Amino acid sequence: MGRARRDIYAGRHIQFDNRISEDGGNKTRRTWKPNVQQKRLFSYILDRHIRVKVTTHALRCIDKTGGVDEYFLKTPYHKLDTELGLFWKAKIEKLYEELGKMKVVFFSPEDEQKFEQGFKELKLSEREAHREFRRKMYAGMKEHKQMEREHKDEPSIDEGSRGTEHEYEEQLAAVSYELAADNLEAGSLVANY
């Protein structure tokens, strides 16, 4: 299992034994390989998923210990005999040591409620700003369409009066730029609708 040294096997390896025939008891050598699956395991200390090949026995061990972080911390080194297992065990132990040195601050329930209320108000204000932006955008589009309709209803322009058509297009462009500028505010996001 040379290339498989990069995976998590939890002490499982290839097993060798004999296949015995029913007729004469003839023995032939055979192997049993571990049941290896490709999985994404979430690590809370790293705050991301780890994509790894892992045996089903290791998955049961991970579930039993309460997660991949706890599995790496609680499992002895001889069960993590692969390179990847030893690497992740050392990395997570180091991160937990750093986490243990950090200071923890607890907030009172009143302060936590204030924080939650502030986040809710911020989210509501963002939603209201998006609604207002859409309202102004669609109102500007209606005015633009109304001007186009009025322009189509006018009698056709003959070749001699090309300047008036050009002036009208400039006027339409100026109105659309004004509408776009009215809709934009400082710090607002510009999205393609």
pLDDT confidence tier of residue 115, bands split at 50, 70 and 90: confident
Cα distances (angstroms) measured from residue 47 to each of 8, 84, 92, 119, 157: 20, 18, 12, 22, 66
Burial class (CB in 10 A: 0-12, 13-18, 19+), 7: buried
Whole-angstrom distance, CA of residue 80 vs CA of residue 35: 16
Whole-angstrom distance, CA of residue 8 vs CA of residue 6: 7
Lowest mean pLDDT among 108-117, 141-150, 161-170: 161-170
* Mean pLDDT within 50-56: 90
| Stretch (H or E) spanning 117 | helix 109-153
pLDDT in tens, 127-150: 998 888 888 888 877 777 777 777
